[in-house]
Amino acid sequence: MQELSQELGLHFVKVSDFPDYIYRMERQYDLPTIIASASVQNTRGETLLLAAASPRHVEDKGISLRLHGGSKHWHLHEHHGDLLEGKRPFTRERLKELLEKARDSAGTAA
């Protein structure tokens, strides 16, 4: 998400870290990311997309995505190391498509 944001001229903003990363004390951190939620903003600082990852203690791991300014949202679930949007794989290309549409629709709304 961070790389795609830069490619598309958008800004990636970390919103929050996982609490167990913040309070890990002496323990090693073993998750692939420390970021619990993040947003993508346009050059005017308007949030286009918000993403939040489930904490590691949750049995059904997933990521929720929400486009601002509308009711569009996605609940992505982990399945054998992949993210699924329902039964369909959620790919980098799909994320890029969502970000491009959000960027372009916010640009025309200004």
Compute the distance between CA of residue 79 and CA of residue 61 in angstroms, rounded to an integer. 9
At residue 26, the pLDDT reads 52
What is the CATH classification number for the domain harbouring 104?
3.30.920.80
Record the pTM: 0.74
Reported as a single tens digit per residue, the pLDDT across 35-93 is 678 889 999 999 999 888 877 677 777 888 888 876 788 888 888 888 899 899 999 99
Total of domains in the chain: 1
Which one has a higher pLDDT value, 66 or 21? Answer: 66
Residues in contact with 78: Cβ distance below 8 Å, sequence separation at least 6, in sequence order: 61, 62, 84
Instruction: Please give the residue range of the domain that contains residue 36.
Output: 2-109
